[in-house]
Amino acid sequence: MSDAEQPTDDHVPGDDEFEPIQVFPEAEEMDLRPGADNCYKCSTCDTNCPVAEVDDEFPGPKFQGPEQWRLKRQDDHDIDDSVMKCSNCMRCDSACPSEVPLSQMHNTARAEYVEENMSKFSREYWRNRMLSNYRQLAPLAATFPRTANFVMGLSVTKWMGEKVLGIAGDRDFPEFAKTTFREWWAKRGGNATSRERAQEARAERGAEVQNEDKRIAYFHGCYSNYNTTEVGKALVRVFEHFGYEVMIPEQACSGTPMFANGMLDDARRAAETNVRELSAAIEDGADIIASCTSCSMSLRQEYPELFDFDGTEDVAENTWEAVEYLRVHEDLEGELEGTQVDDTNFAYHAPCHSRNQGLDGQTMEVMSAIDGVEAEDVGDSCSGISGTYGWKEENYETSMKIGEEMFDHMEDAEATTGLTECPTCSMQMEHGTGYEIQHTLQVLEAALVGTELEEA
Ligand code: SF4
Ligand code: SF4
- Domain limit, last residue, from 294, 329, 364: 329
Looking at residue 381, which CATH number applies to its domain? 3.40.50.1860
Q: Which pLDDT does position 256 carry in this prediction?
A: 96
Is residue 250 located within the same domain as residue 342?
no
Q: Which residues make Cβ contacts (< 8 Å) with residue 325, sequence separation at least 6?
A: 216, 287, 289
Q: Which residues make Cβ contacts (< 8 Å) with residue 167, sequence separation at least 6?
A: 127, 131, 161, 391, 392, 393
**Residue 348 host element (H or E):** strand 345-348
Q: Which residues make Cβ contacts (< 8 Å) with residue 197, sequence separation at least 6?
A: 191
Total Cβ atoms within 10 A of residue 165: 16
In testing the pocket of ligand 2, which one of 57, 69, 100, 102 has its CB within 8 Å of the most ligand atoms? Answer: 102
Q: Which residues make Cβ contacts (< 8 Å) with residue 416, sequence separation at least 6?
A: 343, 344, 345, 346, 436
Is residue 110 located within the same domain as residue 129?
no
64 Cβ below 6 A of ligand 2: yes
Is residue 350 located within the same domain as residue 256?
no
363, 332 Cβ separation under 8 angstroms = no
Looking at residue 104, which CATH number applies to its domain? 1.10.1060.10
Task: Establish if 236 belongs to a structural domain.
Answer: yes
In the reported structure, the alpha carbon of residue 48 is separated from the centroid of ligand 2 by a whole-number distance in angstroms of: 8
Q: Which pLDDT does position 29 carry in this prediction?
A: 43
Looking at residue 199, which CATH number applies to its domain? 3.40.50
Task: Establish if 2 belongs to a structural domain.
Answer: no
385 Cβ below 6 A of ligand 1: no
In testing the pocket of ligand 2, which one of 103, 352, 381, 425 has its CB within 8 Å of the most ligand atoms? Answer: 103
- Counting the structural domains of the chain, the total is 4
In the reported structure, the alpha carbon of residue 77 is separated from the centroid of ligand 1 by a whole-number distance in angstroms of: 21
Which numbered ligand comes closest to the C-alpha of 103? 2
Task: Establish if 35 belongs to a structural domain.
Answer: yes
Is residue 216 located within the same domain as residue 260?
yes
In the reported structure, the alpha carbon of residue 62 is separated from the centroid of ligand 1 by a whole-number distance in angstroms of: 6
Is residue 108 located within the same domain as residue 229?
no
420 Cβ below 6 A of ligand 2: no
Is residue 153 located within the same domain as residue 101?
no
- Over the chain (456 residues), the average pLDDT of each successive run of 10 is 41 49 43 68 95 95 86 78 94 93 91 94 96 91 95 95 96 95 88 52 54 93 96 96 95 96 96 97 96 97 94 98 98 96 95 95 97 95 96 97 97 94 97 96 96 52
Helix, strand, coil % in the chain, rounded to nearest 5: 55, 5, 40
Is residue 202 located within the same domain as residue 161?
no
Is residue 349 located within the same domain as residue 408?
yes
Q: Whose CA is closest to 439, among 454, 450, 455, 424?
A: 424
CA–CA gap between residue 45 and residue 100 (Å, rounded): 10
235, 88 Cβ separation under 8 angstroms = no
pTM attached to this predicted model: 0.88
List phi, psi (to 5°) of 321.
Answer: -85, 145
Tell me the residue type at 158.
Answer: K
Task: Establish if 15 belongs to a structural domain.
Answer: no
- Domain limit, last residue, from 303, 329, 355: 329
Is residue 271 located within the same domain as residue 353?
no
Q: Which pLDDT does position 149 carry in this prediction?
A: 95
Task: Establish if 453 belongs to a structural domain.
Answer: no
Residue nearest to atom 6 of ligand 2 (CA): 92
Is residue 323 located within the same domain as residue 343?
no
Is residue 317 located within the same domain as residue 341?
no
CA–CA gap between residue 307 and residue 433 (Å, rounded): 39
Is residue 364 located within the same domain as residue 278?
no
280 Cβ below 6 A of ligand 2: no
Task: Establish if 292 belongs to a structural domain.
Answer: yes
Name the pairing type of β-strands 287-290 and 215-219: parallel
- Domain limit, last residue, from 304, 329, 354: 329
Domain containing 437 equals 337-448
Q: Which pLDDT does position 204 carry in this prediction?
A: 46
Task: Establish if 155 belongs to a structural domain.
Answer: yes
